[in-house]
Structure 1
Amino acid sequence: MPVTAPQFLDKILALSEKKMIALESKILFVDDGSTDGTWQLIKQLANENEHFSGIRQSRNRGHQNAVLAGLMESIGKFDITISIDCDGQDDINAMDEMVAEYAAGNEVVYGVRSSRETDTFFKRFTAESYYKLLNMMGAEVVYNHADYRLISERVLRELARFKEVNLFLRGMIPLVGFKSTSVYYKRHERLAGKSHYPLSKMLGLAFNGITSLSIKPIRIITTIGSSVSLLSFIILIWVVVRFLMGETVSGWASTCALLTFIGGVQLICLGIIGEYIGKIYLETKARPRYIISERTYQNDDR
């Protein structure tokens, strides 16, 4: 943040000089319940310059909830909101084109990586597979887009009507609709902090996105279950016929293999069904998706 905050300020001032945004525009930092000195730094920035402001969550609730908190906080205050991480990887100069696309009539502008040439083969392969898997499973996402985007206030007001607790904004915002487009940029090396999305978390986010936005895995389970049941029924008929003919099957290997296979399929199916039941359980509780404990400014709307 100490590295990127001046860059954000310079961009705000540059856009206002071009008359693309108002000079009163703000930079809002979201502290996701950090335990270091992040909140003190945000308060210091807010005291030093009127363009900086911040909110702090009562505890860490995850990246998606933090982004949502910032987006919801801007409703009623600004015409457009651009969400971006503070690590400096996303090119802030793409904001110029984003604002221009908004002026041209687009209410959602997605920031999309133009290439992954700087990634390792493993990182590129897993990332591309991640987006393909999401789309294949029925979660509508923009390829190579994360959470760098421009959203109009009208879209945010409609997004606020989505009440689900299990958040996957990359898939939720396309569901809102309205005219949208994409701008492309090259991603830089990380300027600050370290990645909080290793492969395990990426897989977790992908699975959360699939199960939050699509019932296709349940339909796949139904197809697998029907296929396995049909196969088992055919084998049963074959076994009965062989028994009546007095030609019983000797050996236990084939029987054990079949039972193990069916048992494994059943456990996988139960696991996926359990995931959906768990999400239903969390949704029915209707717990708040974020709780703001502190602000650097007086909020007149709440």
Structure 2
Amino acid sequence: MGKISQKGYIVFVDDGSKDQTWNRISELSKGNSSFVGNKLSKNQGHQNTLLAGLMSVKNQCDMSISIDADLQDDINCFDAMIEKFYEGDEIVYGVRNNRDKDSAFKKFTAQSYYRILKGLGANIVYNHADFKLMSNLVLEGLSKFSEVNLFLRGLVPMIDYSSSSVYYTREERMAGESKYP
């Protein structure tokens, strides 16, 4: 207890959705400073949307945790991530501990993806997507990149601050379908 400021808040970023997402974010944030919404003018893509959210909190926090709204990543990892931050890690990766729920094809393509990237020299965390804690120091470092075609999973490790991982079992998607092919 007491590891997160009472001034902490959750930022939702709407990536130009055409459904009721923005209306729901607006309703949630009305009169409640715990929730903030950012609406992008159009669909900017997953990585640009994630970066927009992170940059909107830069210099306003000691740390931030990025997580996709489909809630497949385990919010119960937050405590362990925050603990690792207070132990000195500037980046804490949320890493899937298995791919048991993936189809054989999905498992094969995902594992091949990580192997190929590693073979090409990418410093990438195996089975990590975009669920991570980053300190404001890391956000500041990330803001220095002028990349247009973003790949945050590859950029964040390049910032080269102390890091660790928290492992979890990924849940089934609560609603909707993945936009990733």
Identify the TM-score tier after normalising by the shorter chain: over 0.9
SS at 1:143 equivalent: coil
CA distance in 1, matches of 2:19, 2:58: 29
Which protein has the larger Cα radius of gyration, Structure 1 or Structure 2? Answer: 1
SS in 1 for 2:78: helix
State the Cα distance separating 1:50 from its structure 2 match: 2.1
* Displacement of 1:38: 1.0
Deviations 1:90-140 (CA, angstroms, capped at 9, x unpaired): 000011100000000000000000011111111111111111111111221
1:91 corresponds to which residue? 74
Aligned counterparts of 1:122 and 1:37: Cα–Cα separation in 2:
33
Percent identity of paired positions between Structure 1 and Structure 2: 52
2:22 to 13, 24, 39: 39
Q: What is aligned with 2:156? A: 173
2:96 corresponds to 1:118: no
- Detail structure 1 runs of 4+ shifted over 3 Å in the superposition: none
Distance 1:120 1:66 in 2: 28
| Contact 1:88-1:192 within 8 A present in 2 as well | no
Aligned match of 1:135: 118
Aligned ranges 1:277-292 → 2 under 5 Å: none
Q: What is the aligned residue count?
A: 181
| Cα deviation, residue 43, structure 1 | 0.5
Return the alpha-carbon distance in structure 2 between the equivalents of residues 193 and 72 of structure 1: 27
Counterpart for residue 196 of structure 1: 179
| Corresponding letter in the other structure for 2:100 | E
Q: Which residue of structure 2 lines up, in the alignment, with residue 146 of structure 1? A: 129
For 1:173 and 1:110, the matched residues in 2 are separated by: 10
TM-score, normalised on structure 2? 0.97
Greater relative contact order, per chain length (Cα 8 Å cut-off, separation 6+): 2
- TM-score, scaled relative to structure 1: 0.59
Residue 33 of structure 2 is matched in structure 1 by: 50
Q: Secondary structure at the match of 2:30?
A: helix
* Separation of aligned partners in 2, 1:120 and 1:24: 42
- 8 A contact 1:82–1:149 mirrored in 2: yes
Question: Over aligned residue pairs, what C-alpha RMSD do you find?
Answer: 0.9
For 2:117 and 2:31, locate their aligned partners in 1 and report how far apart those are by CA, in whole Å. Answer: 43
Mapping for residues 185-224 of structure 1, pairs under 5 Å: 185-198=168-181
- Larger relative strand fraction: 2
Q: Which runs of 5+ in 2 are unaligned?
A: none
Q: Aligned partners of 1:45, 1:188: CA distance in 2, in Å?
A: 25
Any stretches of 5+ residues in structure 1 without a counterpart?
1-17, 199-302
Query: In the aligned structure 1, how far is the partner of 2:94 from the partner of 2:128?
Result: 6
Residue number in structure 2 paired with 1:157 = 140
Deviation of the 1:34 alpha carbon: 1.2
Q: How does 1:259-274 map to 2 (within 5 A)?
A: none
